[in-house]
Amino acid sequence: MKVLLGMSGGVDSSVSAMLLKEKGYDVIGCTMILYEEEKKAVEDARKVCETLGIPHYTLNLKKEFNCCVIEKFINEYKEARTPNPCVDCNKKMKFGLFYEKARKLGCDYIATGHYARIEFSKKYNQYVLRKSKEEKKDQTYFLYNIPKEELAHIIFPLQEYENKEKIRNLAEKKELDVAKKKDSQEICFIKDNDYKKFLLENIKEKPKEGNIVLKTGEILGKHKGLINYTIGQRKGIGISYLYPLYVIDLDCNKNEVIVGKEEELYQKTLLAKELNFQVKVEDEFECFAKIRYRSKEAKAVVRRKNEEIEVEFTEPQRAITKGQSVVFYDKEGIVLGGGVIS
C-alpha cells in the first residue's frame, strides 16, 4: 500500500516515516513548501529519507497557503477576531490539497506526524478521529475539519505512543539527525511568534487609535489599535482603575476595546458557524466541548439553529473568543465535530 507522508523536517514526521516503512508500506516523503523560510526543514526531511531509503519530494503550495491561511489570518484580525491558522492549514493544505495530490499519485493513504488516533468505531459504524494517548500533545482540536470521508485514508503512525520521549528515543536508535531537534513554534509563518509585529508589517491599513470603554460606555482612555488586544488580556491595557481591568470584548464597528472585571469574561453560551461534523449527530446533543487548544473540555449541550449552532455549557467558560474554534468530543474522546465561534 502506497503512503504519501507529510514531512516537516521534525522528529515526529521523521519517526512516522520510519514506522511506516517498518510496517511494510511503500512510503513517499513529501515536504510542503508553504512560506519562505523552509530550506532547513526541506534539507532535514531529505536527509531522513536518504537514511531510510525512501524517495523525497517537495510540493510548492506557497501561493495557496498565502491565500487560504495567511490572508485569512490578517483579515480576521482586521475584523477584531482571533483566528486559528493551524485549523485552516489542516483543512485547506494538509488534508485538502495534500490529500488531492496523494490521490492523483495513486496513493492509498496520506500520513502525518500528528498526535491523534484514527480507528474504526462500532458505535458510529465508521472510522473516527480520537484523542491521542499522549494527552499533553493531543492535536485533535486542530483536526476537526477533516472531512469524515477522508478518515479511512489517513494514517497517524504515532497514535500508539504515549509520550514524546519514546518518539525521540526511536529517532536516536535509528541515528536520525533530527532526534534532538526542538519542536516547531506555534505559528509556523510568524518568526518568534510575534504576531503583532507580523500584522503591523502586513496590514496595509495601519491600526487606528480608539477608545477603551466600560460596558456602560464610560471612556477610560485610548487604545493603540484593535489588533494589539485579545479577549481575556490584562497586561498592556495601560489604565489604572478601581479594580483590575480585562479585555472583555472588541467592537470593530465602533473601534472600541471594552474592558471590565474578570467575572465579566465568563459566559455559558456561544454561537458557532463554518461547521464540520465527523459523525452523525442529533439536532440537540450532549458532549464535552473545548473552546481553545490549551483549555479543558467542559460539559455542554449543542443545538442546531439553521446554519449555525448554539453551545450551552454547564459551567461558565472564561474568555470565549470569536474566531477560535469550538470542538466537540464524546465521553470516549472521539471527535464529533466543531465550528468557528461567531
d(Cα 61, Cα 33) in Å, to the nearest integer? Answer: 6
* The CATH number of the domain covering residues in 2-113+157-192: 3.40.50.620
| Residue 197, pLDDT above cutoff 70 | yes
Rounded to an integer, the average pLDDT of 95-103 is: 97
Q: Give pTM, 2 decimals.
A: 0.94
Spatial neighbors of 144 by CB under 8 A, at least 6 apart, are 87, 129, 276, 278, 325, 327, 328, 335, 337, 338
Contacts of 26 (CB under 8 A, 6+ apart): 1, 2, 3
Catalytic site residue from 89, 107, 252, 287? 89
188 among known catalytic residues: yes
Task: Look at residue 99 and tell me whether its pLDDT is greater than 90.
Answer: yes
Query: How many whole angstroms separate alpha carbon 187 and alpha carbon 61?
Result: 17
The Cα 228–Cα 194 span in angstroms is: 11
Q: Is 294 left (phi over 0), alpha (psi -120 to 50) or beta?
A: alpha
Averaged confidence pLDDT in the chain: 94
- In Å, the largest CA–CA distance within the chain is 67
Average pLDDT rounded to a whole number, residues 9-35: 96
Hey, which CATH number is domain 266-341, 3.30.70.60, 3.40.50.2000, 3.20.20.70, 2.40.30.10? 2.40.30.10
Residues with Cβ < 8 Å from 237, sequence gap 6 or more? 212, 229, 245, 247, 257, 259
Indicate whether 186 pLDDT > 80. Answer: no
pLDDT confidence of residue 185: 67
Query: Could you tell me the three cell numbers for 138?
Result: 493531543
Domain residue limits, the chain? 2-113+157-192, 207-260, 266-341
Class of domain 207-260: mainly beta
Q: CA neighbours within 13 Å on the CB side: how many for 73?
A: 22
Judge whether residue 279 has pLDDT over 80.
yes
Concerning whether 107 is annotated as a catalytic residue, the answer is no
pLDDT at 60 over 80: yes
- pLDDT interval class at 297 (50, 70, 90): very high
Question: Of the residues 30, 49, 107, 188, which is catalytic?
Answer: 188
